[in-house]
Structure 1
Amino acid sequence: MALINTKIKPFQATAYKNGEFIEVSDTDLQGKWSIFFFYPADFTFVCPTELGDVADHYDELQKRDVEVYSVSTDTHFTHKAWHDSSETIGKIKYTMIGDPTGTITRNFDVMRESMGLADRATFVVDPDGIIQAMEITAEGIGRDAEDLLRKVKAAQYVAANPGQVCPAAWKEGEATLAPSLDLVGKI
């Protein structure tokens, strides 16, 4: 699980987005911030609450030049059927990648091999394809898109401000730190 500060592996997949099937690859991510939002399966229970929460924050993520890619080992056809039948999933505007071979899920090291399902995992990827943040939770623990947005803001701030770091619970506009000998033992 030593994926922080590593480049994502190449991939190609078919996805569902805005009523169409599209092809997506790692080259589509170049030059943009990305979120990979892995979840176990369509037509389940915690998953739609999480995907809906991300959908509620998608416009704000887009304003920050961040693209969202939800990923499960379901097919793009299943994503369309779920999108068409669920009010919560129907509001999703971001890309829903089908990964029935598990290639992308394994690339991010979040495959539950005995089940053929993805873990509940989130990755924030910078415009160079480098993983800057990740979160993995147990099956029954849903993630919070508000905290994900906070992490994106912190990652973007650090990228734009070399020599600065964001302390715990940092919110946009709050003070940051400039690590130096003067701070050692004073925080």
Structure 2
Amino acid sequence: MSVINTRIKPFTASAYKQGKFVDVSDADIAGKWAIFFFYPADFTFVCPTELGDLADHYAELQKLGVEVFSVSTDTHFTHKAWHDSSDTIGKIEYAMIGDPTQTISRNFDILRENEGLANRGTFIVDPDGVIQAMEITSEGIGRNAAELVRKVKAAIYIRNHPGEVCPAKWEEGEKTLAPSFDLVGKI
């Protein structure tokens, strides 16, 4: 079932962020862009490469007004232990949400019920709390944070420019399209 164009469901959770345990809820993203970056488990293989790549793009996302939340079904305590023991994970400044109750993973329809782990999934949420984009990959396929940043820029652009859409491979500053009767068959 697709969650595109649906509102995120209420949640509360504990997270590890910048050397502290913090409480996080859906109220924290009200009026802001957000990325929810689900991954299967701490202390694994593909996950740290993705989380490190996302950490390398975090400052750029912050400049765009986007908050980032990584989420796994591990606890916030495990996130701290991983952060403290891995150079790659140690550079993360965004919130690492623990979802041991699996509530958030279920809310985003990303939970592997038979394993108790989240699938590898990314969700871009607009300031109204509506999911505008999602990407789900299988266990062995890592994601690309640069492409995620491009998608966020496109989502922000179309929100700010009603009536325009971003074509394939659109990059900030390039031409967009204005769907109309006259455009049909001209592309």
Mapping 1:157-176, distance limit 5 Å: 157-176=157-176
Aligned counterparts of 2:108 and 2:6: Cα–Cα separation in 1: 10
- 1:174 is displaced (CA, Å) by 0.6
**1:82-139 alpha-carbon deviations (Å, 9 max, x no partner):** 0000000000000000000100000000001111000000000000100000000000
- 1:182 is displaced (CA, Å) by 0.5
Which residue is 1:102 aligned to? 102
- Does 2:50 align with 1:47? no
**Number of residues of Structure 1 aligned to a counterpart in Structure 2:** 187
Aligned counterparts of 2:178 and 2:82: Cα–Cα separation in 1: 47
Which residue is 1:11 aligned to? 11
**1:28-50 alpha-carbon deviations (Å, 9 max, x no partner):** 00011000000000000000000
Give 5+ residue unaligned stretches, structure 1: none
Which residue is 1:64 aligned to? 64
Which amino acid in structure 2 is aligned with residue 182 of structure 1?
D
SS at match of 1:47: helix
Aligned counterparts of 1:2 and 1:77: Cα–Cα separation in 2: 31
Where in structure 1 do 4 or more consecutive aligned residues deviate above 4 Å? none
Which residue is 1:133 aligned to? 133
TM-score, normalised to structure 1, is 0.99
* Root mean square deviation of aligned Cα: 0.4
Aligned counterparts of 2:124 and 2:92: Cα–Cα separation in 1: 19
SS at match of 1:133: strand
Which residue is 1:154 aligned to? 154
Aligned counterparts of 1:4 and 1:103: Cα–Cα separation in 2: 18
- Identity value in percent: 75
Which amino acid in structure 2 is aligned with residue 105 of structure 1?
S
- 1:2 is displaced (CA, Å) by 1.9
Which amino acid in structure 2 is aligned with residue 8 of structure 1?
I
Aligned counterparts of 1:146 and 1:47: Cα–Cα separation in 2: 16
Aligned counterparts of 1:173 and 1:141: Cα–Cα separation in 2: 30
Which amino acid in structure 2 is aligned with residue 49 of structure 1?
T
Which amino acid in structure 1 is aligned with residue 178 of structure 2?
A
SS at match of 1:84: helix
Give 5+ residue unaligned stretches, structure 2: none
